[in-house]
């Protein structure tokens, strides 16, 4: 009897690639990535086809700082954010592809692995473009920020969690469509492991001439990953992060683990403000979007514990579907 093949989208984030206490050397990133990918082998052995997405926060930040240093020291023209995101997609995607090929080789698994540089459509009229909030790049002095704001039109906000200074902020519009999602789906359904939509994808929009134009913005990686999962008809959606479960009253004396959640209860906790903005909240929103739009199950767990099924919080539409 042939094993039923399911399609899963796995979003690598948090310490899946780079831990908070590390400086970000390639050796550290390759080791973390390998450990994470080892946790995905069981999905392949259980008959899953895979699409992998990933974050790029530290990496694209470093690219932006190299841009800045190159311009100041050598007069090298800076590249816009869409090119920087594409740069990070290629570099991180290559690393994941090579590490996964080595993992598959050790397990005697024959699968193709391919990275696709992915554009993601946004709405040029998204309110985020008039209220940029996402901090990117290095910290500048007020004088530097004022000079750059005047010369480049950049928007800055004061840092409150660091030792002062100002950082550039850019819009973070809602993803509306995954360019080439049908190609990604076709490749994955044929058994190829596909790496796509890295860093939330390269933000683009369609202008009045029906041409594709770049947007100086960044897209939330979890929301883009969820949209990709829905667009290709994935059965399951996984977010790998730095905590093993979803928690209520996180880090408080009455903290509770929530291993099984349905859509209604998850929405209730979300509306109560149980999930921190900028960290767990977009992950919860992404998981709810997926099951609301036909996905069977979303899972949030720690990057290195996916293969251990006693870990992880599962979100489904109805409770009776949880333990299937």
The full set of domains in the chain, from first to last, is: 6-122+178-321 (3.40.1160.10), 132-170 (no CATH)
Contact 118, 180 (CB under 8 A): yes
Residues 6+ apart with CB under 8 A from 303: 12, 13, 14, 15, 16, 32, 35, 36, 39, 240, 241, 242
Return the pLDDT at 202.
98
Residues 6+ apart with CB under 8 A from 119: 179, 180, 201, 202, 203, 204, 212
Give per-residue pLDDT as tens, 238-284: 999 989 999 999 999 999 999 999 999 999 999 999 999 888 999 99
Closest by CA position to 44, among listed 15, 95, 16, 10: 10
Q: Is pLDDT of 320 > 80?
A: no
**pLDDT tens readout for residues 13-62:** 867 888 878 888 999 999 999 999 999 999 999 999 999 999 998 889 88
In this model, does residue 162 exceed pLDDT 70? Answer: no
pLDDT-derived band at 322 (thresholds 50, 70, 90) equals very low
Chain Cα centroid distance, residue 97:
16
Cβ contacts of 296 within 8 Å, gap of 6 or more = 235, 236, 316, 321
Catalytic positions, please? 14-15, 134, 221, 283
Mean of all residue pLDDT scores within the chain: 93
């Amino acid at each position: 009897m042939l094993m039923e093949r399911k399609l899963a989208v796995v979003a690598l984030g948090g310490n899946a690639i780079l831990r908070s206490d590390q400086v970000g050397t390639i050796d550290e990133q390759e080791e973390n990535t390998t450990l994470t990918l080892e946790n995905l082998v069981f999905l392949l052995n259980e008959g899953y086809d895979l699409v992998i997405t990933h974050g790029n926060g530290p990496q694209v930040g470093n690219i932006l700082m190299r841009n800045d240093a190159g311009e100041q020291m050598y007069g090298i023209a800076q590249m816009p954010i869409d090119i920087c995101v594409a740069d990070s997609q290629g570099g991180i995607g290559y690393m994941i592809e090579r590490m996964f090929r080595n993992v598959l080789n050790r397990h005697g698994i024959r699968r193709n692995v391919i990275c696709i540089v992915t554009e993601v459509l946004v709405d040029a009229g998204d309110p985020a473009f008039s209220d940029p909030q996402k901090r990117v790049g290095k910290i500048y002095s007020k004088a530097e920020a004022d000079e750059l704001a005047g010369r480049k039109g950049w928007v800055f906000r004061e840092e409150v969690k660091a030792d002062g200074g100002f950082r550039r902020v850019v819009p973070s519009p809602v993803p509306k469509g995954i360019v080439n999602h049908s190609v990604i789906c076709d490749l994955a359904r044929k058994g190829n492991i596909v790496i796509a939509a890295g860093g939330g994808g390269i933000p683009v929009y369609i202008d009045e001439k029906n041409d594709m134009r770049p947007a100086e913005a960044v897209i939330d990686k979890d929301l883009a990953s969820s949209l990709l999962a829905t667009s290709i008809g994935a059965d399951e959606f996984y977010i790998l992060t730095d905590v093993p479960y979803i928690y209520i009253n996180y880090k408080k004396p009455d903290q509770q683990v929530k291993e099984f959640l349905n859509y209604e209860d998850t929405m209730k906790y979300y509306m109560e403000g149980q999930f921190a903005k900028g960290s767990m909240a977009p992950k919860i929103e992404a998981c709810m979007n997926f099951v609301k739009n036909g996905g069977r199950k979303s899972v949030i767990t720690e990057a290195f514990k996916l293969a251990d099924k006693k870990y992880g919080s599962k979100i489904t539409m109805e409770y009776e579907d949880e333990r299937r």
